[in-house]
Amino acid sequence: MNAPIRRLSAVVALLFCALLVSSTTIQVVQAKSLQDRPDNRRTLLDSYARERGQILVGGTPVAKSVPTKDELKWLRTYPQGELYSHVTGYYSFTYGAGGGLEGADNDLLSGSSDTLFYRRVSDILTGKTPSGASLELTINPAAQKAADQALGDQRGAVVALDPKTGDILALVSHPAYDPSLLSGHDTKKVQSAWTRLNADKGRPLIDRAIGGDLYPPGSTFKLVTAAAALESGKFTEESQVPGPATLDLPQTTVNLPNDDHLPCGPGNKTSLTHALQVSCNTAFGWLGMRLGADALRSQAAKFGVGDKLEIPMSVTPSRVPAELNEPQTAQAAIGQYDVRMTPLQVAMISAAIANNGVVMQPRLVKRVLSSDLEVINQPDPVELSQAVSPDTSAALTRMMETVVTSGTGTAAQIPGVDVAGKTGTAQHGKGLAPHAWFTAFAPAQDAKVAVAVVVEDGGRLGNEAFGGKVAAPIAKSVMQAVLGS
């Protein structure tokens, strides 16, 4: 019986070899992919094991981790709650990190970023408890508060930029939410908050300033059309253009009327400056057809439309439709038809005009700091493109000033400061109150701030709303907050 016993021993060896192979496959070959699975609780717990970096605004943390006694060791808190909800986003054990910097800069905050590699090694060598990097933001706390208060309970978004650097000074989207609801460690409560926030018709989890469904920019797009006209060399700010009460559109029975159904000037003619000042639809519709869809599209692209920006959250690219026939071009020239923009993009247009035509890359993070507040990274401002010549930007500035001094945007006047602005009232469907827009910068000659405001469905005024009435006062208080601080 010894021969079969020996063979049986060999079978045993084979069986165990199979086990060695299978366990090697799992623990070495597949280990990385298993650990990267989103449902892997161990990986998640691991990220809680070290202190996550803070998010700082003006030296004050708006997101920080505090030690707890439960198994997660650290609880993420948001001292100012709703005010910064779309800036910080949320860091949830149950739903992961998202909604803002928590998601976009997760690897820096958690300390797992490759750029922190040498610091991690030195932490291990010196025996320091490893922790994530902190982010110091470009946000101006006064501007953020002013934007939040002025927008109030209306749905919409406010973006304020420093035209010279691209620093984002305010980023507000309403309705907001309290990220602490999602960062708690009571899974049941977090789940019910998550369900409630997702079911909310106001969709508070969406950052309307940089994402969401995008808005038709309405008359604020006339800035792009005016820029294209001036850049073409065929027009100056004094050029006379047709401005009838109604523009007859070719190839269609639908015509393009002015909002007040009156001509924009005597003899159905108007200067380009006056056309912008009173937001003359027919004049800009005519200009659009005259310049052509390609000119509009390329001018928009120079302002950043179509770019995939990361601030570091990814921004939904704004768009001008690729195929436009003549009547559609006329509609697009006044920001209707299928032109869609984020409030950030509209703010970038104003900021470029304020900054001699140069578009700066918008950014939210000024500096990356180590846990002992040593600077790890301090990126320089980045120029994206030259959207218009300095001459054109000066002309556009003068034109936009008339909008605020005696045009549709008088509500944005600030005593002692020259403000340049443009209103917008965007139709977005039959029977729906229009979105109210306002974009501006101030002071006109040496701008410290550029701002874009959108209030959905006319806000409190509904069908009575015009950008000048609803959105301009919000822009004004944000600009005042920046200039006053």
Partner 1 sequence: MTTVSTYRPRTRRNVELALLLLAVAIVVLAYVNVELSVSGDFPPGLVGQTIGLLAISLAFHGLLRWRASYADPLLLPIVTLLNGLGLVMIHRLDIAKGRGISDGLALKQLTWSALAVAIAAVVLFLLRDHRILRRYTFISAVVAFVLLVVPLVPGIGRSVNGSRIWIGLGPFTFQPGEIAKIALAVFFAGYLVQTRDALSLAGRKVLGMTLPRGRDLGPILVAWVLSLLVLVFEKDLGSSLLLFGLFVSMLYVATERISWIAIGLTLFCGGAYLAFLLFGHVQSRVHLWLDPFAPGQSDQLAKGLMGMAAGGLLGTGLGRGRPDLTYFAESDFIVPSFGEELGLVGLFALLVLYVLLVERGMRTALGVRDGFGKLLASGLAFAVALQCFVVVGGVTRVIPLTGLTMPFLSYGGSSLLANWSLVALLLRISDHARRPVDEQPAGPSSTGQAHTEVVVLR
Q: Is residue 430 a contact residue for partner 1 (CB under 8 A)?
A: no
**Which residue from 23, 268, 325, 406 is in contact with partner 1, where contact means CB under 8 A?**
23
> Which one of 16-24, 77-85, 263-271, 373-381 is the stretch in contact with partner 1 (CB under 8 A)?
16-24
Does 30 participate in binding partner 1 (rule CB under 8 A)?
Answer: yes
* Residue 382 interacting with partner 1 (CB under 8 A): no
> What is the per-residue binding string for partner 1 in 33-62, x denoting contact by CB under 8 A?
-xx-x-xxxxx-x-----------------
Treating both helix axes as pointing N-terminal to C-terminal, what angle do 281-291 and 293-302 enclose, rounded to 10 degrees? Answer: 100
Do residues 438 and 424 make contact, with C-beta atoms less than 8 angstroms apart? Answer: yes
Q: What is the DSSP annotation of 382-437?
A: -EEEE-S-HHHHHHHHHHHHHHHHHSTTGGG-BTTB--EEEEEEE--STTSPPEEE
Q: Residue 47's closest CA among 99, 110, 96?
A: 110
Is position 219 annotated as part of the catalytic site? Answer: yes
Q: Which of 219, 318, 370, 371 is catalytic?
A: 219
d(CA 82, CA 80): 6
Q: Does 372 bind partner 1 (CB under 8 A)?
A: no
Give me the least distance between CB of 129 and partner 1, in Å please.
Answer: 15
124 scored as a contact of partner 1 (CB under 8 A): no
The string over 386-421, giving b where at least 16 C-beta atoms fall within 10 Å of a residue's C-beta and e elsewhere, is ebbeeebbbbbbebbbbbbeebbbbbbbbeeebbbb
CB of 69 to partner 1, least distance (A): 12
16 binds partner 1 (CB under 8 A): yes
Kindly tell me which of 20 and 66 has the beta carbon lying closer to partner 1.
Answer: 20
Question: Does 4 sit near partner 1 (CB under 8 A)?
Answer: yes
Question: DSSP for 7-60?
Answer: HHHHHHHHHHHHHHHHHHIIIIISHHHHHT-TT-HHHHHHHHHSBPPPEEETTE
- Residue nearer to partner 1 on the CB measure, 69 or 201: 69
**Of 198, 93, 100, 168, nearest in space to 451 by CA:** 168
User: Which lies closer to partner 1 via its Cβ, residue 25 or residue 122?
Assistant: 25
- Nearer of residues 40 and 485 to partner 1, judged by Cβ: 40
> Which residues have a catalytic role annotated?
219
User: Which residues of the shown chain bind partner 1 in the complex (CB under 8 A)?
Assistant: 1-6, 8-9, 11-13, 15-16, 18-20, 22-28, 30-32, 34-35, 37, 39-43, 45
